[in-house]
């Protein structure tokens, strides 16, 4: 029989693992805000490769809850970074297709998609 975790059980598990309310102390959400410097330095391919590793690790299901939360937060930041790079590329493509002068900051784009 598969064991299902509820929010209450997850909170209790986190508390027993020494994390208050099921969250590691000082844990930030992966929402808007600055990305960690190590993630911001990654190009698209590197971010996607690490995101795949994080996903595989979480799918295995044998990660302690506090580590799973940290991995999920990192994965969310990696996804946000990769999406930002794709948005820059999409803007660049639209400008090229429209035949207009490029208004996108080329140096920022190049630094985001560097190899």
* pLDDT tens digits for range 10-67: 333 343 333 333 433 334 444 568 999 999 999 999 999 999 999 999 999 999 999 9
pLDDT tens digits, 77-96: 999 999 999 999 999 998 88
Vertex 63 angle, CA 10 and 52, to 5°: 115
Architecture of domain 35-113: Orthogonal Bundle (1.10)
pLDDT reported for residue 103:
52
In terms of C-beta density within 10 A (0-12 exposed, 13-18 middle, 19 or more buried), how is residue 47 classed? Answer: buried
- Tokens, residue 35: 């990305």
Of 24, 115, 4, 114, the C-alpha closest to 65 is 24
- Tokens, residue 75: 């994965």
Q: What is the pTM of this model?
A: 0.61
- Tokens, residue 7: 């929010």
């Amino acid at each position: 029989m598969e064991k299902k975790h509820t929010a209450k059980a997850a909170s209790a598990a986190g508390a027993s693992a020494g994390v208050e309310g099921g969250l590691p102390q000082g844990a930030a959400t992966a929402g808007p805000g600055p990305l960690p410097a190590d993630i911001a330095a990654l190009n698209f391919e590197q971010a996607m490769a690490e995101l795949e590793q994080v996903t595989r690790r979480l799918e295995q299901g044998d990660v302690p809850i506090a580590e799973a939360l940290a991995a999920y937060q990192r994965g969310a930041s990696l996804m946000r970074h990769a999406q930002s790079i794709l948005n820059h590329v999409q803007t660049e493509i639209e400008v090229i297709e429209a035949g207009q002068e490029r208004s996108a900051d080329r140096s920022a784009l190049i630094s985001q998609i560097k190899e």
